[in-house]
Amino acid sequence: MDGVPRPLVILASLAQATPPLQLLDWYRAEGTQIVKKGRRGRDMDFDHSTRLSINCLTMQQHPHALEILRLIAILPDGAEKARLEEMFPTMTRQRELGEATRTLLQLALVEDYFGYLKVLAPIRNFMQHRYPPAQAAHWQELEQYYERLAQSGVHVGKSRGAECMKRPTKEFRNVVTVMRHALTTSTPPAPLIEAIVESARFAWVAKEDN
Protein backbone atom coordinates (compact mmCIF):
# COMPACT_ATOMS: atom_id res chain seq x y z
CA MET A 1 0.00 0.00 0.00
CA ASP A 2 3.03 2.29 -0.33
CA GLY A 3 2.13 5.63 -1.90
CA VAL A 4 -1.59 5.33 -1.16
CA PRO A 5 -2.88 8.16 1.09
CA ARG A 6 -3.38 6.79 4.57
CA PRO A 7 -7.02 7.95 4.90
CA LEU A 8 -7.86 5.91 1.79
CA VAL A 9 -6.18 2.86 3.32
CA ILE A 10 -8.34 3.32 6.42
CA LEU A 11 -11.47 3.71 4.32
CA ALA A 12 -10.61 0.62 2.27
CA SER A 13 -10.22 -1.36 5.48
CA LEU A 14 -13.42 0.14 6.82
CA ALA A 15 -15.30 -0.92 3.68
CA GLN A 16 -14.56 -4.56 4.49
CA ALA A 17 -16.34 -4.27 7.84
CA THR A 18 -19.17 -1.84 7.06
CA PRO A 19 -22.45 -2.32 5.18
CA PRO A 20 -22.15 -0.54 1.78
CA LEU A 21 -25.18 1.70 2.32
CA GLN A 22 -23.87 2.89 5.66
CA LEU A 23 -20.44 3.61 4.18
CA LEU A 24 -22.09 5.51 1.31
CA ASP A 25 -24.07 7.63 3.76
CA TRP A 26 -20.90 8.49 5.63
CA TYR A 27 -19.07 9.35 2.43
CA ARG A 28 -21.87 11.66 1.31
CA ALA A 29 -21.78 13.39 4.67
CA GLU A 30 -18.00 13.72 4.98
CA GLY A 31 -16.48 12.60 1.70
CA THR A 32 -15.62 16.13 0.61
CA GLN A 33 -13.49 16.49 3.74
CA ILE A 34 -11.63 13.27 3.00
CA VAL A 35 -10.44 14.42 -0.43
CA LYS A 36 -9.35 17.93 0.59
CA LYS A 37 -5.89 19.06 -0.45
CA GLY A 38 -3.14 20.92 1.42
CA ARG A 39 -1.58 20.43 4.85
CA ARG A 40 -4.70 21.35 6.78
CA GLY A 41 -6.72 19.18 4.43
CA ARG A 42 -4.43 16.22 5.04
CA ASP A 43 -4.84 16.63 8.78
CA MET A 44 -8.61 16.71 8.34
CA ASP A 45 -8.33 13.59 6.15
CA PHE A 46 -6.99 11.65 9.08
CA ASP A 47 -9.48 13.14 11.51
CA HIS A 48 -12.49 12.26 9.38
CA SER A 49 -11.31 8.82 8.31
CA THR A 50 -10.32 7.99 11.90
CA ARG A 51 -13.70 9.17 13.17
CA LEU A 52 -15.48 7.01 10.59
CA SER A 53 -13.51 3.96 11.67
CA ILE A 54 -14.09 4.57 15.37
CA ASN A 55 -17.84 4.91 14.82
CA CYS A 56 -18.20 1.88 12.56
CA LEU A 57 -20.24 -1.18 13.49
CA THR A 58 -17.19 -3.38 14.03
CA MET A 59 -15.80 -1.01 16.67
CA GLN A 60 -19.19 -0.83 18.35
CA GLN A 61 -19.29 -4.62 18.53
CA HIS A 62 -15.85 -4.64 20.17
CA PRO A 63 -15.82 -1.60 22.48
CA HIS A 64 -12.52 -2.59 24.05
CA ALA A 65 -10.83 -1.86 20.72
CA LEU A 66 -11.35 1.85 21.37
CA GLU A 67 -10.03 1.38 24.91
CA ILE A 68 -6.83 -0.20 23.62
CA LEU A 69 -6.44 2.38 20.86
CA ARG A 70 -6.72 5.36 23.19
CA LEU A 71 -4.09 3.83 25.50
CA ILE A 72 -1.45 2.71 23.01
CA ALA A 73 -1.90 5.96 21.06
CA ILE A 74 0.08 7.69 23.80
CA LEU A 75 3.10 5.43 23.21
CA PRO A 76 5.53 6.93 20.66
CA ASP A 77 7.20 3.56 20.07
CA GLY A 78 4.04 1.46 20.22
CA ALA A 79 3.08 -1.47 22.43
CA GLU A 80 4.91 -4.80 22.24
CA LYS A 81 2.36 -7.46 21.27
CA ALA A 82 4.03 -10.09 23.42
CA ARG A 83 3.56 -7.86 26.48
CA LEU A 84 -0.08 -6.86 26.00
CA GLU A 85 -1.36 -9.44 28.48
CA GLU A 86 1.05 -8.11 31.07
CA MET A 87 0.05 -4.52 30.31
CA PHE A 88 -3.70 -5.13 30.57
CA PRO A 89 -4.18 -8.17 32.85
CA THR A 90 -7.87 -7.63 33.63
CA MET A 91 -8.76 -7.33 29.96
CA THR A 92 -6.94 -10.55 29.17
CA ARG A 93 -9.08 -12.58 31.55
CA GLN A 94 -12.19 -11.65 29.61
CA ARG A 95 -10.70 -12.50 26.18
CA GLU A 96 -11.20 -8.90 25.21
CA LEU A 97 -7.60 -8.14 24.35
CA GLY A 98 -7.30 -10.42 21.33
CA GLU A 99 -10.59 -9.22 19.86
CA ALA A 100 -9.61 -5.59 20.38
CA THR A 101 -6.22 -5.89 18.69
CA ARG A 102 -7.61 -7.88 15.75
CA THR A 103 -10.27 -5.22 15.22
CA LEU A 104 -7.73 -2.38 15.23
CA LEU A 105 -5.49 -4.19 12.76
CA GLN A 106 -8.45 -5.01 10.52
CA LEU A 107 -9.48 -1.35 10.38
CA ALA A 108 -5.87 -0.15 9.83
CA LEU A 109 -6.00 2.01 12.96
CA VAL A 110 -2.78 0.36 14.16
CA GLU A 111 0.10 -1.33 12.37
CA ASP A 112 2.03 -4.44 13.35
CA TYR A 113 5.60 -3.21 13.08
CA PHE A 114 8.07 -6.00 13.89
CA GLY A 115 6.05 -7.19 16.86
CA TYR A 116 4.92 -3.77 18.04
CA LEU A 117 1.44 -2.30 17.61
CA LYS A 118 2.02 1.27 16.47
CA VAL A 119 -0.35 4.16 15.85
CA LEU A 120 0.60 6.71 13.19
CA ALA A 121 1.27 10.24 14.47
CA PRO A 122 -1.86 11.89 12.97
CA ILE A 123 -4.10 9.22 14.51
CA ARG A 124 -2.20 9.53 17.79
CA ASN A 125 -2.84 13.27 17.83
CA PHE A 126 -6.52 12.76 17.08
CA MET A 127 -6.91 10.19 19.84
CA GLN A 128 -5.08 12.20 22.48
CA HIS A 129 -7.25 15.25 21.82
CA ARG A 130 -10.59 13.43 21.48
CA TYR A 131 -10.03 10.44 23.76
CA PRO A 132 -7.56 11.35 26.56
CA PRO A 133 -5.80 8.19 27.74
CA ALA A 134 -6.02 9.06 31.44
CA GLN A 135 -9.82 8.85 31.19
CA ALA A 136 -9.65 5.26 29.92
CA ALA A 137 -10.82 2.51 32.27
CA HIS A 138 -7.48 0.69 32.00
CA TRP A 139 -5.20 3.73 32.28
CA GLN A 140 -3.91 2.73 35.70
CA GLU A 141 -2.87 -0.67 34.37
CA LEU A 142 -0.80 1.01 31.66
CA GLU A 143 0.69 3.47 34.15
CA GLN A 144 1.58 0.70 36.61
CA TYR A 145 3.14 -1.41 33.85
CA TYR A 146 5.54 1.40 32.94
CA GLU A 147 6.17 2.18 36.60
CA ARG A 148 7.36 -1.41 37.05
CA LEU A 149 9.47 -1.19 33.92
CA ALA A 150 11.08 2.04 35.10
CA GLN A 151 11.75 0.62 38.55
CA SER A 152 13.74 -2.21 36.99
CA GLY A 153 16.43 0.43 36.59
CA VAL A 154 17.34 -0.23 40.23
CA HIS A 155 19.31 -3.26 38.97
CA VAL A 156 21.52 -1.15 36.71
CA GLY A 157 25.14 -1.45 37.77
CA LYS A 158 24.56 -4.73 39.60
CA SER A 159 25.36 -8.31 38.64
CA ARG A 160 22.53 -8.68 36.09
CA GLY A 161 22.32 -5.00 35.25
CA ALA A 162 23.13 -5.37 31.55
CA GLU A 163 20.28 -7.83 31.06
CA CYS A 164 17.87 -5.64 33.03
CA MET A 165 18.73 -2.64 30.84
CA LYS A 166 17.47 -4.21 27.61
CA ARG A 167 13.74 -3.55 27.99
CA PRO A 168 13.99 -0.09 29.61
CA THR A 169 16.40 0.92 26.84
CA LYS A 170 14.02 -0.26 24.13
CA GLU A 171 10.99 1.40 25.69
CA PHE A 172 12.55 4.45 27.31
CA ARG A 173 10.52 6.93 25.24
CA ASN A 174 7.32 5.12 26.20
CA VAL A 175 8.31 5.17 29.87
CA VAL A 176 9.04 8.90 29.83
CA THR A 177 5.84 9.71 27.92
CA VAL A 178 3.59 7.76 30.30
CA MET A 179 5.32 9.13 33.43
CA ARG A 180 5.08 12.69 32.14
CA HIS A 181 1.41 12.28 31.31
CA ALA A 182 0.69 10.70 34.69
CA LEU A 183 2.21 13.72 36.44
CA THR A 184 -0.27 16.04 34.72
CA THR A 185 -3.38 14.05 35.61
CA SER A 186 -3.18 13.38 39.34
CA THR A 187 -1.26 13.86 42.57
CA PRO A 188 1.78 11.62 42.07
CA PRO A 189 1.61 8.46 44.23
CA ALA A 190 4.80 7.07 45.76
CA PRO A 191 5.29 4.33 43.10
CA LEU A 192 5.18 6.96 40.35
CA ILE A 193 7.79 9.11 42.09
CA GLU A 194 9.99 6.04 42.58
CA ALA A 195 9.60 5.14 38.91
CA ILE A 196 10.60 8.64 37.83
CA VAL A 197 13.67 8.55 40.07
CA GLU A 198 14.72 5.17 38.68
CA SER A 199 14.11 6.37 35.11
CA ALA A 200 16.40 9.33 35.71
CA ARG A 201 19.01 7.05 37.27
CA PHE A 202 18.74 4.63 34.38
CA ALA A 203 19.10 7.43 31.82
CA TRP A 204 22.20 8.76 33.58
CA VAL A 205 23.87 5.33 33.82
CA ALA A 206 22.98 4.46 30.22
CA LYS A 207 24.46 7.75 29.04
CA GLU A 208 27.68 7.07 30.95
CA ASP A 209 27.91 3.57 29.47
CA ASN A 210 27.44 4.91 25.94
- Give pLDDT, residue 48: 76
CB-CB contact of 165 with 89 (8 Å): no
Confidence of residue 154 (pLDDT cuts 50, 70, 90): low
Distance in angstroms (rounded) separating the CA atoms of residues 77 and 86: 17
- Per-residue pLDDT, 41: 47
Q: What is the pLDDT of residue 209?
A: 46
Is the per-residue pLDDT at 2 higher than 60? no
Amino acid at 66: L
pLDDT bracket for residue 38 (50, 70, 90): very low
Residue 185, pLDDT score: 72
- Where in the chain are the domains? 6-133, 138-209
CB atoms within 10 A of CB 160: 9
**167: helix, strand or coil:** helix
Phi, psi values for residue 79, rounded to 5°: -110, 130
pLDDT of 71 higher than 90: yes
Which strand (E) or helix (H) includes residue 117?
Answer: strand 116-118
Amino acid letter at 174?
N
Q: What is the predicted pLDDT for the residue at 23? A: 62
Residues shown for the chain: 210
Mean pLDDT of the chain: 76
Give the pLDDT of residue 119: 94
Residue 131: predicted pLDDT: 92
| Residue 8 or 61, more confident | 61
Query: How far apart, in whole angstroms, are the C-alpha atoms of residue 62 and residue 17?
Result: 12
Residue 76 has pLDDT above 90, yes or no: yes
Percent of the chain with pLDDT over 90: 24
- pLDDT mean over 187-194: 65
